[in-house]
Amino acid sequence: MVVYRNEISHQWERRMLLARWHRGSVKRDEICDADFLLVTAARFHGVPAGAPCPICDSEELRVVQWIHGEQLGRMSGTARSTEEIEQIAGTGREVTVHTVEVCPVCRWNHLLKAVTATAG
């Protein structure tokens, strides 16, 4: 069994950034800056977000999970499925999971939350 703890939500920052964009305080190229690796991970490892992109209204908005941790070695900094994360955490390694939404069409991306996964 895997336990998720220490969740940090970044939804407020997302809402504030989108409000600034709608007011014209932020340029589109400042917020649509996902790099090639992030867009590729979203396409191949992400799951549908279930909502359109807040910038371009594309239905291609994806949610991808990135794992980080000192105990992960070369796995740190890679995109993983929920099943893979639970399998890794189940071995006793602590895993920080960053959930990111990414639009492969306009390259919008934003960190939604960070959480720690551990064996329970």
The phi, psi pair for 45, rounded to 5°, reads: -120, -15
- Residue that the structure tokens 């867009």 belong to: 39
Neighbouring C-beta atoms of residue 46, cutoff 10 Å: 23
What range defines the domain where residue 55 resides?
Answer: 2-119
pTM, two decimals, is: 0.91
Count up the domains in the chain and report the number.
1
Segment 14-54, tens digit of pLDDT: 999 999 999 999 999 999 999 999 999 999 999 999 999 99
Segment 78-94, tens digit of pLDDT: 999 999 999 999 999 99
80, 47 in Cβ contact below 8 A?
Answer: no
Question: For the chain, what's the residue count?
Answer: 120
